[in-house]
Amino acid sequence: MNTLSVYQQHNLLYDQESFAMYKRGGYHPVKIGDSFTGNVFKKYRVVHKLGHGGYSTVWLVEAAHPAAEGGASVAEKHPSRMWLSLKIVVADAGTASREAAMLGRLKNEPGIVQLIDSFTHTSDNGIHLCLVQEMLGPSLGSVVQTYCDDKDELEPEVILKLSRQLLVALKSLYARKLVHKNDILKIVGKPQVEEIERVDGKPLGRGLPVQIVRKAGWGDWVEEDENDIRLLDFGESFSETEQPAILNQPINLRVPETIFTKRFDHRVDLWQAESIIHLLLFDYSPFMADNLTSQLVNQMIHFTEEDLPAEWQPAWEAMEKAKRPTSTLARRFQDQVKDKHLKRLKPVIEQLMRFRPADRIEAKDALVEIDRITAGM
């Protein structure tokens, strides 16, 4: 594990991708100006960082020198500089990509991000799968946040247009990016970079980046008037005949059937679509649970204003029971009462202290319990 205190301190160490993930099996260390050799283009040069997640970092790259007929055909559609995004997956994820396979099946589908190239790259941290995709814009959430910060809101026709595009493209998990056209470097700005140096002056360990780059801010995007939605991040996608055992989802994007059953299908996307449309309308997601499944389900029940299906009720009741905090009395007995005989007083106290008088045990019954405890000493 990398201890951040051994490095010269600056904010980017803490508010970008987890530095601890730069290890064997983790992220590939990238710096501005690095080049990668692909199959469609001979050279992808890194010019900025677009984002990061738990399993990858994503970079803005300039593609040059078509390496094959595919590269030439792609380049013909873009006579100016070829801006693309490069997703570099952590080494532990392996090189067999469900995402690449799914994007191959969805080539030229409307509303789906297009996969341009895929290849592997070897670093000190392992072998990384690299996916080159068409260049997209900011995340939908950041766009909505920008409007919210400016005390503005999306026009009704834009909300309806994006909602329709989302529903047309409902073969993926969820919408994350928007497409736009302009001089990309003007919009994303110059990369903000902090060099990584140890406090003691010693060289950095193998597999560590020499710099941390702040992800692009997209500050000038709001001047654009061409807004189209794209679906991407197909790491958890699946076909109907290849359903995975589990579906990894952020807590607030979980769908109810994945909580209460082991059966799910393409209709998980319908639930996800509502979350996106809600975001467009109200500037925030419908559910905001703090990593508590029971809290999320409670919000779902109140939001939908319908009861859970009968077959889910036993699991929900067990979930509700498990989430109840330990009572003050239980904590006191656990922390302060060490004698095993005295611990048996807990149910006596609990039965004496009931809200309804009729529910309280009589003195004679309490005495019986105390006599039993005494007899067992």
Q: What is the pLDDT of residues 86-128, one digit of tens each?
A: 999 999 988 877 777 777 776 766 667 788 898 999 999 999 9
Whether the Cβ atoms of residue 162 and residue 62 lie closer than 8 Å to each other? no
Confidence band, pLDDT 50/70/90 cuts, at residue 25 = very high
User: What percentage of residues in the chain have a pLDDT greater than 90?
Assistant: 13
Structure-token pair, residue 249 = 């989802």
pTM (two decimals): 0.60
Q: Residue 170 has what pLDDT? A: 57
Instruction: Count CB-CB contacts under 10 A for residue 60.
Output: 23
Confidence band, pLDDT 50/70/90 cuts, at residue 130 = very high
Tell me which DSSP letter residue 127 carries: E
Is pLDDT at 223 greater than 80 in this prediction? no
Buried b (16+ CB within 10 A) or exposed e, 274-296: ebbbebbeeeeebbebeeeebeb
* Superfamily of domain 4-134, CATH level 4: Phosphorylase Kinase; domain 1 (3.30.200.20)
Q: Which of 52-61, 73-82, 95-104, 176-185 has the highest mean pLDDT?
A: 52-61
Per-chain mean pLDDT for the chain:
75
Question: CB-based burial of residue 48 (10 Å sphere; 0-12 exposed, 13-18 middle, 19+ buried)?
Answer: buried
Confidence band, pLDDT 50/70/90 cuts, at residue 146 = low
Q: Residue 182 has what pLDDT? A: 39
Greater pLDDT, 327 or 99: 99
Average pLDDT over residues 72-88: 69
Q: Residue 179 has what pLDDT? A: 26
User: What percentage of residues in the chain have a pLDDT greater than 70?
Assistant: 67
Average pLDDT over residues 200-227: 75
Confidence band, pLDDT 50/70/90 cuts, at residue 238 = very low
Confidence band, pLDDT 50/70/90 cuts, at residue 23 = very high
| Residues with Cβ within 8 Å of residue 274, at least 6 apart in sequence | 286
Structure-token pair, residue 39 = 């199959």
Question: Taking Cα atoms as reference points, which of 278, 159, 204, 177 lies closest to residue 22?
Answer: 204
Is pLDDT at 245 greater than 90 in this prediction? no
Q: Residue 265 has what pLDDT? A: 66
Structure-token pair, residue 315 = 């699991």
Q: Residue 228 has what pLDDT? A: 59
Round to whole Å and give the CA distance between 279 and 260. 25
Structure-token pair, residue 95 = 């090189």
Buried b (16+ CB within 10 A) or exposed e, 326-353: eeeeeeebeeeeeeeeeebbbebeeeee
Measured over the CA atoms of residue 323, residue 327, residue 332 and residue 337, the dihedral's sign is negative
Strand-pairing partners, residue 195, are 211
Confidence band, pLDDT 50/70/90 cuts, at residue 243 = low
Buried b (16+ CB within 10 A) or exposed e, 110-120: ebbbbbbbbbe
Pairing of strands 175-179, 126-134: unpaired
Amino acid in position 313: Q
Tokens 């005989």 -> residue: 341
Question: Taking Cα atoms as reference points, which of 72, 74, 11, 84 lies closest to residue 44?
Answer: 84
Is pLDDT at 45 greater than 90 in this prediction? yes
Round to whole Å and give the CA distance between 154 and 280. 7
Question: CB-based burial of residue 373 (10 Å sphere; 0-12 exposed, 13-18 middle, 19+ buried)?
Answer: middle
Is pLDDT at 327 greater than 80 in this prediction? no
Question: Which sequence spans correspond to the domains of the chain?
Answer: 4-134, 328-375
Average pLDDT over residues 324-351: 79
Question: Taking Cα atoms as reference points, which of 245, 244, 266 lies closest to residue 255?
Answer: 266
Q: Residue 169 has what pLDDT? A: 58
At CA 133, angle to CA 124 and CA 79, rounded to 5? 120
Strand order across the beta sheet in which 56-66 lies: 35-36, 41-52, 56-66, 82-89, 126-134, 115-123
Confidence band, pLDDT 50/70/90 cuts, at residue 151 = low
Confidence band, pLDDT 50/70/90 cuts, at residue 142 = low
Helix (H, G, I), strand (E, B) or coil at 293: helix
Greater pLDDT, 106 or 317: 317
Instruction: Count CB-CB contacts under 10 A for residue 203.
Output: 8
* pLDDT digits 0-9 by tens, 264-312: 666 766 776 777 777 777 777 788 776 678 888 888 888 877 888 899 9
